[in-house]
Structure 1
């Protein structure tokens, strides 16, 4: 509800700027042309993941990971790490926060394990692992056209993406080394899926979507096709699951408001001010500014405001992505995914205090950003 309210306020402010001429009409039309594929992708992939989760796909995958770990806690945690990375890279950080977090918590609690190392690595990877593909993060989708196609994007991001995964994983493994030792009891009787046909269709659609997202086609196209197919199948098998709530209205309004408000601020003079302040700044400066801005405000407006200072150089642009993607590990509001993750923790009764989260983030976030920028500089 807060997301919807804040988004409505930002959207209203942007429309006022448009009506008063602070935001020129040409700039607003250019913004719409740029962001409609992004928002279309967000809506489509959310519909796919919500329907797939309702069909039991994520529960089935989580149960499969638990069985294959064969009672070894560290191996189960490693499976969660791999699952969080794959989910974030291919289905976005918000998908990991909203749909994977409850599954991870349920698996850990069902096995009688301390859920904190599983919860912490999930949220850190939901942010830090969102570097590799354009679809991994809204900021990447906005940056992609400055870099070229998906191949050019991956060629620049693979090394910082890997570095940004290694640091938080190593940090959680060190912090919770005692809790990750030992074994747990593997459940022998997993409940069957409510509708095996719908589950199989969901799995097939998601696999096809993953292939489509790395095919080089505009990502909104395979996402929209996957959403339509799964909507049709669900209407056939489980029509009651089709509700207006499948569309992430609060997120759409929030993102639209941020886009419009940030563009208005830049047209009002913020772009020139930042270009002057960051003139001549290298990858380290840009990444630091991105991480600081993300933790002070939020990663999306931080990217939008800083993008003009880095868009002319792909190296600087990826450094900015390192800052706004891997840097938001300190404050709760630094990314929407973090707030969504914490809501899932509260629902599951898992206690990870914001105080502990902030203190750990003050150490891990700078190390992660530094590792990402270092890898970028070394491989460029």
Structure 2
């Protein structure tokens, strides 16, 4: 049993025990559920939307169009991959980028006769580090948006400086590492014809309407749910066999819910006082960097979601919450369990016959993080000073 499967089996049991034994008191559990049910609904609906858009061929056609746009130039193809990874992460979340774009870019590189590793690493790094700009980009962002009651535009205004750093620094390092693989030209492979043109066109329409809705200020759970319902009806008419219970992300939902319960129970038992020295106080540059570093260390140690939940009470202001997001969103580049997106990415690569050497991956990730976090925190501090 691998690490992710073990966590799926064990953590829900421990969470239930916390509730049954009273480690998580009933009022705290009720308050937790009131806070997280819209977030869990959004995650479910967006998973259905992205999987059905994938089945309709929308993402495959976008990737194929990107290859044509590159005009046979490898560097341009990589730059287009960067744009796709950033856009997908910002609007659909880091997990969507890891699950959907990874196989597409790997297959695209192979068909073009290019080494797939530079494109694959680009996807996983940007899935994590580009997940700072909008509330929908990361589950941790949704928690901050809910706590601060910010509109999507106000949230973006708070974190836009660090969000830019989270894209520029990893891309600069990627260019340096893979510079020899990103020169020259390639021959684009012909794209596959759509299985159902009606579903494809309807998928484009749903996507075109959903993206602005996600940043409009309309509750994101409502926008995503409406899109999921529309696509489900379309598939029920055109391709019913695609509608299976596997569209519901049961394991990620159980994992997220279990982590919410466990960390809330830990807070009820005094976790705040234990973590206070590591989180620090204040909004000076050093204070914000300390909090971001604690978030990054926690994310690489146990995963970014429990790291955020554990440190959230110590981040009592918008600026400190943003610093914590820098740590838990931009930081988990060192260990494979730092974020669920990295684990999903690694599984996709294994299914494609690619295996990652985790020690070099972690060392380079540590280098990127050590450069990126101070720059991102400085950008946040300057914008909030």
Per the shorter chain, which TM-score range? over 0.9
TM-score of the aligned structures, taking structure 2 as reference length: 0.95
Give the 5 Å matches for 1:147-162: 147-149=148-150, 150-162=152-164
Shift of residue 275 of structure 1?
A: 2.6
Q: Which residue does the alignment assign to 2:341?
A: 337
Tell me, what secondary structure is at the counterpart of 1:178? helix
Instruction: Name the CA distance, whole Å, in 1 between partners of 2:383 and 2:36.
Output: 30
Query: Bigger CA drift: 272-281 or 312-321?
Result: 272-281
Instruction: Name the CA distance, whole Å, in 1 between partners of 2:340 and 2:279.
Output: 27
Tell me, what secondary structure is at the counterpart of 2:269? helix
Q: Deviations over 1:339-364 (max 9, x none)?
A: 11111111222343212211211101
Q: Which residue does the alignment assign to 1:13?
A: 14
360, 373, 380: which is aligned to 1:376? Answer: 380
Q: Which residue does the alignment assign to 2:367?
A: 363
Q: Does 1:26 find its partner at 2:27?
A: yes
Shift of residue 202 of structure 1?
A: 1.1
Instruction: Name the CA distance, whole Å, in 2 between partners of 1:175 and 1:109.
Output: 20
Instruction: Name the CA distance, whole Å, in 2 between partners of 1:52 and 1:271.
Output: 42
Q: Deviations over 1:124-145 (max 9, x none)?
A: 0000000000000000011112
Q: Report if the CA contact (8 A) 2:44-2:249 is conserved.
A: yes
Query: Bigger CA drift: 338-347 or 227-236?
Result: 338-347
Shift of residue 21 of structure 1?
A: 2.1
Assess, with a 3 A threshold, how the Cα gap between structure 1 residues 359 and 277 changes in structure 2: closer, same or farther. Answer: closer
Q: Which residue does the alignment assign to 2:239?
A: 238
Tell me, what secondary structure is at the counterpart of 1:334? coil
Q: Which residue does the alignment assign to 2:108?
A: 107
Q: Report if the CA contact (8 A) 2:300-2:335 is conserved.
A: yes
Q: Which residue does the alignment assign to 2:313?
A: 308
Q: Which residue does the alignment assign to 1:165?
A: 167
Q: Deviations over 1:258-315 (max 9, x none)?
A: 00011011111111222355342521010000000000110000000000000x2100
Q: Structure 2: state its 5+ residue gaps.
A: none
Q: Report if the CA contact (8 A) 1:262-1:304 is conserved.
A: yes
Q: Does 1:323 find its partner at 2:324?
A: no
CA RMSD of aligned residues (A): 1.3
Assess, with a 3 A threshold, how the Cα gap between structure 1 residues 184 and 279 changes in structure 2: closer, same or farther. Answer: closer
Q: Report if the CA contact (8 A) 1:18-1:24 is conserved.
A: yes
Q: Report if the CA contact (8 A) 2:291-2:324 is conserved.
A: yes
Shift of residue 9 of structure 1?
A: 2.3
Shift of residue 227 of structure 1?
A: 0.2
Assess, with a 3 A threshold, how the Cα gap between structure 1 residues 191 and 151 changes in structure 2: closer, same or farther. Answer: closer
Q: Does 1:293 find its partner at 2:298?
A: yes
Give the 5 Å matches for 1:1-380: 3=4, 5-149=6-150, 150-187=152-189, 189-280=190-281, 282-310=287-315, 312-380=316-384
Q: Report if the CA contact (8 A) 1:143-1:317 is conserved.
A: yes
Shift of residue 377 of structure 1?
A: 1.0
Instruction: Name the CA distance, whole Å, in 2 between partners of 1:352 and 1:21.
Output: 42
Q: Report if the CA contact (8 A) 1:7-1:255 is conserved.
A: no
Q: Report if the CA contact (8 A) 1:139-1:300 is conserved.
A: yes
Instruction: Name the CA distance, whole Å, in 2 between partners of 1:209 and 1:160.
Output: 26
Shift of residue 118 of structure 1?
A: 0.5
Q: Deviations over 1:318-369 (max 9, x none)?
A: 0000000000000000001001111111122234321221121110122122
